C-alpha cells in the first residue's frame, strides 16, 4: 500500500525532471490531489485500510500543500559506478508548492564545485590516493553504499558550496539513466538536434554530446549540458500522452526501478525517512542477524567503463578442521570494451561488506594488503565489517578478485544450531550481476528457500545460480 503511493510520487518526480507536472495531463486542480491519490491507491489495492489518513498526510506534505517543498535531484551515472549509485554528473533543484513544481536550477556538478568557496572537507583516503584530490566536493560525495548516508553527505557538501536554496532542501532523490532507457522502451525514440535517442543508445549518445559533441557544435563548456533541457522539451509532450494510454506499463516500470535501486529517496523528515526505509524506498545497508554479503565497486578514473563490464559473483563456504567455516567471495570481471572515448582499463576501489566478526585471510587479484596499509583498507561501518582493495582490469580480459575470510563466530554458531540465513544485497545503481552460491554447511540441508534444483537435494551443500538484479534472501534449515 505505502509502496504504491510512492510509485505515484516517483512518477511525479520523473515528470519534474522532464520539466513539467502530472497535473498537466490529468487536468486536476491542486485541491483535488488528495482525492485523486487516495482513489488511485484504493483502486489498485481494492480496499481502504486504517493507514489511509496517515498516507494522505504524507502525500500532502510531499506535494507542498502544507508548506513548499524543495528537492535536490542527483543524476547518478551508473556507467561510472560509485558506491552511492553512480557518478553525480548533474543535479537539479525543484520547488513544489500546492502541487505545482518549479525547476529552480539544473546544471553540471563541475560548475557548482568549480565556483564553490574554500572550505575544509577531507575526502576518504581512497579518493585522495586514486583520484588525487585533497578536498571532498559535491560530485564525489556518494561514497557510502547506503543511500541515506550518501544523500546526507551530498547535502552537507551542497550546503558548504552555497548551493541554491541549500538550507531549504527537504529531500534528496537519486535517479540513474537506466530509468530513462526503460522509459524509451515504452515511449519510443526521441529526436533532438538531429540526434535520435532510443532505449539502446540513450546513455551513450548523451554522454558523447556532453563530453565531445558540444565542442564539435561550437558550444561553450558551460553550455555543454543544455541538451538535457532540449531532451526534456521533446520528451515531455509525448510522455504526457503516452502515460495515460500505457499507465500499467509505466506503473510496472517504476516499481521495478525502485526495487532495482535505480530510483532512490531520502527525506530530512525523520518520520518520512523511517517510512521510506521500512518500505525499501530509501535503500540502505540492511541490519541483519544472519550472514550478509555486499560487493561495492567504485569506478575511479575509468571513464564510463562500467558499461563494458560483465560481472558475476560466486560465494563459497566450507568447514574448517577446528569447527569454523571458511568463506570465499569471488568476482569475475569480464571487460568486453576497448580503449576509446568512453572506455579504458577498469580502475575500481572495491569493498566487500560482511557480518561483524568476519576475519580476513587474504585478497587475491587486487592491490597487496600489508600490515602498513591494512587499517585504511578495512573497518567497521553501517553495522558491518568491510575489507577493500584496488583492482585494475585491461580491456578484452577477464579477471578474478577474491576475498577469503573466516565466517563470523555468530554465523558459525547459527549454522551449528541448524539454521543459516543469507542476505546478498545489490549495489545501488548497479545492473545485473550473476550470483552463484556453493555452500557446504557441515550438515544435510532439510529445507531451503529458494529451493535448489531437485538433483541437488539430499546432501550438506546448498547450490544455486541466480542474479543480483535485486536483493536476494536465502533461508536454509539444517539437520543437527
Q: What is the DSSP code (8-state) at residue 337?
A: -
Which three three-digit cell numbers place residue 413? 554458531
What are the structural domains of the chain? 2-278 (no CATH), 291-478 (2.60.40)
What is the per-residue pLDDT across 216-263, written as a single tens digit (0 to 9) for each?
888 888 778 778 777 877 877 787 778 778 878 888 888 899 999 999
Name the β-bridge partners of 76: 88
Residues 6 or more apart from 122 whose CB is under 8 A from it?
135, 136
User: Residue 480 CB: number of other CB atoms within 10 A?
Assistant: 12
What is the per-residue pLDDT across 262-275, written as a single tens digit (0 to 9) for each?
999 999 999 889 88
Residues 6 or more apart from 183 whose CB is under 8 A from it?
14, 239, 250, 253
Instruction: Check residue 280 and give left, alpha or beta (phi > 0: left; psi -120 to 50: alpha).
Output: left
Average pLDDT rounded to a whole number, residues 456-462: 92
User: Residue 316 CB: number of other CB atoms within 10 A?
Assistant: 16
Q: How far apart are CA 138 and CA 159, in angstroms?
A: 9
Torsion (CA) 412, 284, 315, 304 in degrees, nearest 10: -160
pLDDT at 45 over 90: no
% helix / strand / coil in the chain, to the nearest 5?
35, 30, 35
**In this predicted structure, what is the pLDDT of residue 357?**
98
Helix locations, 260-299, DSSP H? 270-278
**Is 290 strand, coil or helix?**
coil
Omega before residue 89 within 30° of 0, cis: no
| Contact assessment for residue 62 and residue 95, using Cβ atoms and an 8 Å cutoff | no
Please provide the average confidence, as pLDDT, over all residues in the chain: 87
What is the per-residue pLDDT across 110-131, written as a single tens digit (0 to 9) for each?
999 999 999 999 999 999 999 9
- pTM for the structure as a whole: 0.90
Phi, psi at residue 69, to the nearest 5°?
-115, 140
Name the β-bridge partners of 378: 387
pLDDT at 455 over 70: yes
Which three three-digit cell numbers place residue 259? 526495487
Which three three-digit cell numbers place residue 321? 578442521
Q: How far apart are CA 327 and CA 339, in angstroms?
A: 35
User: Residue 429 CB: number of other CB atoms within 10 A?
Assistant: 30
**In this predicted structure, what is the pLDDT of residue 292?**
98
Amino acid at each position: 500500500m505505502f509502496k504504491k503511493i510512492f510509485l505515484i510520487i516517483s512518477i511525479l518526480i520523473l515528470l519534474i525532471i522532464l520539466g513539467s507536472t502530472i497535473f498537466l495531463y490529468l487536468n486536476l486542480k491542486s485541491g483535488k490531489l488528495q482525492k485523486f491519490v487516495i482513489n488511485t491507491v484504493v483502486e489498485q489495492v481494492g480496499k481502504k485500510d486504517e493507514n489511509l489518513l496517515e498516507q494522505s498526510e504524507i502525500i500532502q506534505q510531499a506535494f507542498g500543500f502544507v508548506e513548499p517543498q524543495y528537492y535536490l535531484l542527483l543524476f547518478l551515472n551508473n556507467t561510472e559506478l560509485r558506491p552511492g549509485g553512480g557518478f553525480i554528473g548533474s543535479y537539479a533543484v525543484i520547488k513544489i508548492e500546492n502541487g505545482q513544481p518549479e525547476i529552480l536550477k539544473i546544471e553540471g556538478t563541475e560548475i557548482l564545485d568549480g565556483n564553490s568557496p574554500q572550505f575544509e572537507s577531507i575526502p576518504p583516503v581512497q579518493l585522495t590516493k586514486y583520484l588525487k584530490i585533497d578536498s571532498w566536493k559535491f560530485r564525489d560525495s556518494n561514497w557510502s553504499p547506503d543511500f541515506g548516508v550518501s544523500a546526507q553527505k551530498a547535502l552537507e557538501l551542497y550546503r558548504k558550496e552555497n548551493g541554491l536554496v541549500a538550507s531549504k532542501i527537504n529531500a534528496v532523490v537519486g535517479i540513474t539513466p537506466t530509468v530513462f532507457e526503460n522509459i524509451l522502451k515504452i515511449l519510443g525514440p526521441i529526436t533532438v538536434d538531429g540526434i535520435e535517442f532510443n532505449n539502446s543508445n540513450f546513455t551513450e549518445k548523451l554522454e558523447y554530446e556532453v563530453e565531445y559533441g558540444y565542442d564539435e557544435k561550437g558550444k561553450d563548456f558551460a553550455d555543454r549540458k543544455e541538451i538535457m533541457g532540449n531532451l526534456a522539451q521533446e520528451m515531455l509532450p509525448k510522455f504526457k500522452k503516452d502515460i495515460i494510454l500505457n499507465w500499467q506499463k509505466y506503473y510496472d516500470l517504476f516499481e521495478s526501478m525502485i526495487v532495482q535501486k535505480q530510483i532512490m529517496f531520502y527525506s530530512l523528515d525523520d518520520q518520512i525517512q523511517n517510512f521510506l526505509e521500512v518500505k525499501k524506498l530509501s535503500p540502505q545497508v540492511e541490519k541483519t542477524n544472519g550472514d550478509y554479503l555486499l560487493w561495492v565497486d567504485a569506478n575511479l578514473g575509468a571513464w564510463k567503463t562500467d558499461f563494458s563490464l560483465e560481472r558475476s559473483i560466486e560465494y563459497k563456504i566450507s568447514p574448517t578442521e577446528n569447527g569454523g567455516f571458511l568463506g570465499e567471495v569471488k568476482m569475475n570481471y569480464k571487460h568486453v570494451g576497448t580503449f576509446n572515448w568512453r572506455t579504458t582499463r577498469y580502475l575500481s576501489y572495491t569493498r566487500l561488506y560482511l557480518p561483524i566478526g568476519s576475519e580476513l585471510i587474504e585478497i587475491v587479484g587486487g592491490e597487496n594488503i600489508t600490515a602498513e596499509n591494512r587499517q585504511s583498507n578495512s573497518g567497521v561501518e553501517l553495522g558491518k565489517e568491510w575489507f577493500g582493495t584496488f583492482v585494475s582490469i585491461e580491456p578484452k580480459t577477464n579477471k578474478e578478485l577474491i576475498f577469503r575470510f573466516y565466517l563470523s563466530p555468530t554465523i558459525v554458531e547459527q549454522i551449528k544450531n541448524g539454521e543459516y540465513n543469507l542476505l546478498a544485497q545489490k549495489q545501488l545503481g548497479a545492473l545485473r550481476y550473476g550470483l552463484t552460491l556453493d555452500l557446504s554447511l557441515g550438515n544435510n540441508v532439510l529445507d531451503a528457500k529458494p529451493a535448489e534444483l531437485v538433483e541437488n537435494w539430499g546432501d550438506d551443500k546448498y547450490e544455486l545460480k541466480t542474479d543480483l538484479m535485486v536483493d536476494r534472501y536465502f533461508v536454509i534449515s539444517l539437520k543437527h
